[in-house]
């Protein structure tokens, strides 16, 4: 099967990956209502088709946080992404660089900051969670600075992990013997993945978090640690700690409400990501597409607005820009492509996104990213 769309990469990833990994990428919380809304609400954004507008020269480039990008897209931080292909985050950062866009490394990626920095030739973005151990937070910020990271994504919508039924059913978040047996059985049923990642993709640890796990290496141990160490007491005041350690652009990720967007402005954020964590936290929450316009109206002149959630094509990127975003993070699509064909898969997927953006812009009569606004929405 030749992948002609993100949906094709999803199907190929489903075939290749053990169930516990595919369901972790693909799933959301509870009944996955918000996960479905993210996709459906974005699809419902109808665009105005325009004709005879001279769209012979289309420019996708833009500037975000002082960096010139080939298109207004970044690879979103995704936990455990590196388990989907051998040392996956190192492959993804190279693909992002080839496409001229940023890669965002998750605090809970399989590869640590140092390993990704060694694979990269340009600065990448780093995503931070607030955990109870503030020493760990400071250490992560120091490592990110030393690695040359210039932009920090501070994720604020995970004070407690969402309840994800698929992860319980697949055995992913079970630290016991039964969960291990489930995962091993699923891995053996997918020999391509087992050989590439299970055998040759070691070490199977979360590079940044490994010191806190104190020798525990099972995936189930990580979920147990996450349930007890993510800090539910964190408030806006904790941004002071981050600002004391971080001089670069600070982007608050996980905003769905205009009042929270105003708080981000008041606390010195340079940007926000309108996001519901890919439908993986509060099920029943607004989709990103529904939340974005009112947030753009509230703070769009005061900081840079990014958005994620439900983006499955370059057409969706254009829709998010029209709704008020200056840039778009894509998560599941790049991990599907990574699982399918590693770095080459991510490169091809980004070429699809670029081509689809060009078509969408041409048929809506715009030639530059800054021309994309609500005037192209029907």
Catalytic residues, by residue number, are: 277
Measured in whole angstroms, the distance separating CA 327 from the mean position of its chain's CA atoms is 13
Q: Is 309 annotated as a binding residue?
A: yes
Residue 335 to residue 332: CA distance in whole angstroms: 5
Peptide bond into 121 cis (omega under 30): no
Q: Is 310 annotated as a binding residue?
A: yes
Q: Is 332 annotated as a binding residue?
A: yes
Q: Is 215 annotated as a binding residue?
A: no
Residue indicated by tokens 């399918």 = 340
Q: Is 275 annotated as a binding residue?
A: yes
DSSP H or E stretch at residue 67: strand 67-69
Q: Is 192 annotated as a binding residue?
A: no
Q: Is 331 annotated as a binding residue?
A: yes
| 310 touches 292 (CB < 8 A) | no
Measured torsion, CA atoms of residues 44, 161, 16, 102, in degrees rounded to the nearest 10: 70
Structure token digits, residue 359 = 């078509």
Q: Is 41 annotated as a binding residue?
A: no
Counted residue by residue, the chain has a size of: 378
Q: Is 77 annotated as a binding residue?
A: yes
* H runs (alpha helix) in 121-193: 134-146, 165-170, 177-188, 191-193
User: Coil, helix or strand for 231?
Assistant: coil
Q: Is 78 annotated as a binding residue?
A: yes
Question: ∠304-72-255 over CA atoms, to 5°?
Answer: 40
Q: Is 281 annotated as a binding residue?
A: no
Q: Is 280 annotated as a binding residue?
A: yes
Q: What is the DSSP letter of 194?
A: I
Q: Is 94 annotated as a binding residue?
A: no
Query: Residues 6 or more apart from 175 whose CB is under 8 A from it?
Result: 218, 220, 221, 223, 224
Q: Is 155 annotated as a binding residue?
A: yes
What residues form DSSP beta bridges with 153?
Answer: 127, 251
| 87 touches 201 (CB < 8 A) | yes
Q: Is 313 annotated as a binding residue?
A: no
Q: Is 127 annotated as a binding residue?
A: yes
Residue indicated by tokens 């020269």 = 57
What residues form DSSP beta bridges with 272?
Answer: 252, 305
Residues of each annotated binding site: 24, 77-79, 106, 127, 129, 155, 164, 253, 275, 277, 280, 308-312, 331-332
Residues of each annotated binding site for glyoxylate: 24, 129, 164, 277, 280
Residues of each annotated binding site for FMN: 77-79, 106, 127, 155, 253, 275, 308-312, 331-332
């Amino acid at each position: 099967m030749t992948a002609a769309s993100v949906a094709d990469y999803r199907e190929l990833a489903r075939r290749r990956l053990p169930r516990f990994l595919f369901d972790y990428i693909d799933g959301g919380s509870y009944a996955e209502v918000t996960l479905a809304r993210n996709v459906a609400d974005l699809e419902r954004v109808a665009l105005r088709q325009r004709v005879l507008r001279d769209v012979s020269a289309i420019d996708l480039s833009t500037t975000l946080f002082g960096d010139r990008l080939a298109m207004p897209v970044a690879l979103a931080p995704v936990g455990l992404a590196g388990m989907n292909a051998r040392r996956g985050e190192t492959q993804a950062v190279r693909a992002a660089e080839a496409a001229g866009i940023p890669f965002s490394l998750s605090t809970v990626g399989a590869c640590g900051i140092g390993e990704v920095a060694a694979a990269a030739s340009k600065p990448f973005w780093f995503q931070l969670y607030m955990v109870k151990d503030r020493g760990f937070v400071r250490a992560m910020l120091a490592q990110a600075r030393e690695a040359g990271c210039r932009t920090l994504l501070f994720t604020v919508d995970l004070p407690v992990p969402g309840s994800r039924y698929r992860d319980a059913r697949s055995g992913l978040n079970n630290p016991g013997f039964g969960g291990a047996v489930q995962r091993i059985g699923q891995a053996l049923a997918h020999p391509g993945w087992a050989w590439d990642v299970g055998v040759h993709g070691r070490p199977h640890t979360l590079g940044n978090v490994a010191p806190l796990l104190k020798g525990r290496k099972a995936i189930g141990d990580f979920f147990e640690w996450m349930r007890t160490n993510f800090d539910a007491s964190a408030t806006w005041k904790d941004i002071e700690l981050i600002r004391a350690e971080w001089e670069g652009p600070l982007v608050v990720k996980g905003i769905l409400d205009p009042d929270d967007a105003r708080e981000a402005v008041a606390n010195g954020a340079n940007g926000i990501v309108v996001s519901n964590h890919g439908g993986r936290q509060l099920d029943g929450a607004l989709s990103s597409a529904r939340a974005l316009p009112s947030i753009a109206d509230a703070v769009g002149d005061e900081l840079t607005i990014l958005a994620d959630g439900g983006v499955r094509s370059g057409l969706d990127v254009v829709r998010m820009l029209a709704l008020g975003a200056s840039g778009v993070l894509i998560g599941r699509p790049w991990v599907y492509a990574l699982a399918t064909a590693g770095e080459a898969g991510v490169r091809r997927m980004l070429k699809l996104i670029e081509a689809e953006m060009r078509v969408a812009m041409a048929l809506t009569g715009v030639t530059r990213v800054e021309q994309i606004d609500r005037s192209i929405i029907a």
